[in-house]
Amino acid sequence: MMTQRMSRQMVGAMSAALLLAFGATACKKKTPAPPPVVKPPEPKPAPPKPSVSFSANPSSIERGKSSTLRWESSNATEVRINNGIGTVQASGTREVFPNNTTTYEITATGPGGVTTATTTVSVTAPPPRPSISFSADPSSIRKGASSTLRWDVANATNITIEPGIGTVGSTGTRGVNPDRTTTYTLTARGPGGTSTSTATVNVTEISLAERLANEVQDIYFDYDKSEIREDARATLTRNADAIRNILRDFPTAVLSLEGHCDERGSAEYNLGLGDRRATATRDFLVQLGVGADKLKTISYGKERPQCSDQNETCYQKNRRAHFSAGQ
């Protein structure tokens, strides 16, 4: 009984508690639901910043040579390069010739901002050109004489002189014997380029009379004789070579062979003796290969002595065959 009574009390207490709780809930006001949350729109992305690649090729040059600027850009509405180039396309090349080391700057401007890049062209001084001192001394000669070429060259690796000399050292001299006026040209080549210089040797032609006087000797005869002596044979052999050379230079010339005598004997006799001496001289030369048509004879007898003393030494000088330019 006791137990049943306690159960009924516990059930009643729980029921009363439930009623109180329901009543309290029923007495409260209902609150409205909160409004939905609206997210703001996403911000637009910022435009991309311009990009630039910029280079110089080659990046090092000698003064006077060129380098090529090369660039590419994107996201830019204007592209400029300084140092006098100005506005350019988005991509391109430009050849430049800076005199000194120069840094070029490219500026790319667009909605996303400004981007710059630089490239430098280093300029070095070129190697010096060859320098030349070149002369001929004397600068004027008579034909058959010589002149000396003299030179001094710097900054060259190869030096030549033409005509007829070829490669030479940087400093030197060379004797030359031109047979006509000749201009010699020295050419010097080196890392800095090529230089030339000239020296002229003026050659004065020697007259036929001068050539004969310088290169052909008289021959001498015994008293009252026209036979060629042994010593005269040797002289005429040398003369024949000289005469052939002279006639090559004077192809239209005809030489006179003069027969001379000393003062003894009559004028008429000596004219005949002089003629025989001239003829003997011509015949000997013809045998040695000198053309007979290039030699004519004339006798002066005793009319043109070289010496007027009355002694054998003087007489011997007058007994001769002499060579002269034909008239």
Q: Is the pLDDT of residue 175 over 50?
A: yes
The predicted pLDDT at position 32 comes to 73
- The residue among 116 and 15 whose pLDDT is bigger is 116
- The residue among 99 and 15 whose pLDDT is bigger is 99
- The 10s digit of each residue's pLDDT in 117-141 is 999 999 999 899 999 999 999 999 9
Q: Domain ranges in the chain? A: 51-124, 131-204, 208-325
Q: Is 277 helix (H, G, I), strand (E, B) or coil?
A: helix
Instruction: Assign domain 51-124 to its CATH architecture.
Output: Sandwich (2.60)
Region of poorest pLDDT, from 38-42, 114-118, 144-148, 270-274: 38-42
How far is residue 239's CA from residue 231's CA, in Å, rounded to a whole number?
13
Q: Average pLDDT of 37-41?
A: 78
Strand locations in the chain (E): 51-57, 60-62, 67-74, 78-81, 86-88, 91-96, 102-110, 113-124, 131-137, 140-142, 147-154, 158-162, 166-167, 171-176, 182-190, 193-204, 219-220, 255-260, 295-301, 320-325
Q: Are 203 and 179 in contact (CB under 8 A)?
A: yes
The predicted pLDDT at position 144 comes to 83
- The residue among 11 and 32 whose pLDDT is bigger is 32
pLDDT band at 288 (very low <50, low <70, confident <90, very high): very high
Q: Do domains 51-124 and 131-204 have the same CATH topology?
A: yes
Q: Is the pLDDT of residue 2 over 60?
A: no
pLDDT band at 28 (very low <50, low <70, confident <90, very high): low
- The 10s digit of each residue's pLDDT in 224-246 is 999 999 999 999 999 999 999 99
Compute the mean pLDDT over every residue in the chain, rounded to the nearest whole number.
91
The predicted pLDDT at position 19 comes to 53
Q: Which residue has the tokens 């209902």?
A: 30
- The residue among 255 and 14 whose pLDDT is bigger is 255
The predicted pLDDT at position 1 comes to 46
Q: Average pLDDT of 189-214?
A: 94
For 103, the token pair is 């840094």
pLDDT band at 83 (very low <50, low <70, confident <90, very high): very high
- Among residues 272, 264, 327, 280, the alpha carbon closest in space to that of 300 is found at 272
Q: Is the pLDDT of residue 309 over 80?
A: yes
Region of poorest pLDDT, from 42-46, 68-72, 87-91, 150-154: 42-46
pLDDT band at 71 (very low <50, low <70, confident <90, very high): very high
Q: Average pLDDT of 88-95?
A: 96
Instruction: Assign domain 208-325 to its CATH architecture.
Output: 2-Layer Sandwich (3.30)
Q: Is the pLDDT of residue 22 over 80?
A: no
Name the CATH superfamily, with its identifier, for domain 131-204. SoxY domain (2.60.40.2470)
